[in-house]
Amino acid sequence: MTRETSTKVIGLCHGFYGYRTLAEAIGVNPDEVEWEIPGVNHWVYLTQFRHNGQDLYPLVDKWIENEADRYWAEFKGRFSATQLSRAAIDHYRRVGVMPIGDASRTFSEWYYHSDLETKRRWYGQNGGFDSEIGWGQYLEGLEKNIQRIREVTLDETQRVTDVVKPERTREIQVPIIDAIANDKPDIFQVNVPNNGAITGIKDDVVVEGKALVDASGAKLLHVGKLPGKLMHMVIGPRIAKAERELAAFLHGDHDLLVSCLLLDDYRTHSLEQAERYTDAMLALP
């Protein structure tokens, strides 16, 4: 959108709040934590994690050594708990920094997702958010919410605020609107074009990180260089995937669309499947 249109747009994902789960696990008040979680949308990593100036990563490593096995033995696979799943810890050990939020489940290691039994090993009893069970529960929850909204909309005797409480949550859409419309400068985690914030990523690639937001818009705070293993193993491939998919849609390239699916290791099972899916997608109204 930022490349092809003049629309002023900010992307949001609340997955960065996963740092709070991590802080609570190691016994630190999340409200007192200093953090930096840069990356690209849904794929963000905890590059700074401090409390009163003290690096908290040693406490994370201590939790893994002393508490993780007991936690996993009792772990039922709640969506919010994927932050501390076996998969998240395995990924942290190899990349060197902790994946946060959706990054604790959406990174590209196919061996976390090969079948339901494997998913249960890495993500708990229901196989995690992306399993057959997890997606079913998620969609069921969405349908219940939609039904509740429908009922309150059609029933004039009900007050919306009796169903949806007028209480502030940790979602940041309204505070961002307030910061822009009323010029109240504040720091928010957003997705906007890089413009030099993260070294080695093109300016017109949208990245995620903390930004100063006010009436002039959103300007990312400087991050600098990310760890080399993180760039090589995660961020670089993710950006390449986004560029490939964008090019396929901009040019209507059938072969490139099929190629995008073939590179998705744990969802694509054959060339024929990828071709059928692409044909079905392009046949949509």
Catalytically annotated residues: 14, 102
Pairing of strands 217-220, 39-40: unpaired
- Nearest by Cα to 267 from 115, 104, 105: 115
Cα–Cα distance measured from residue 87 to residue 107, given in angstroms and rounded to the nearest whole number: 10
Distance of CA 37 to the CA centre of its chain: 11
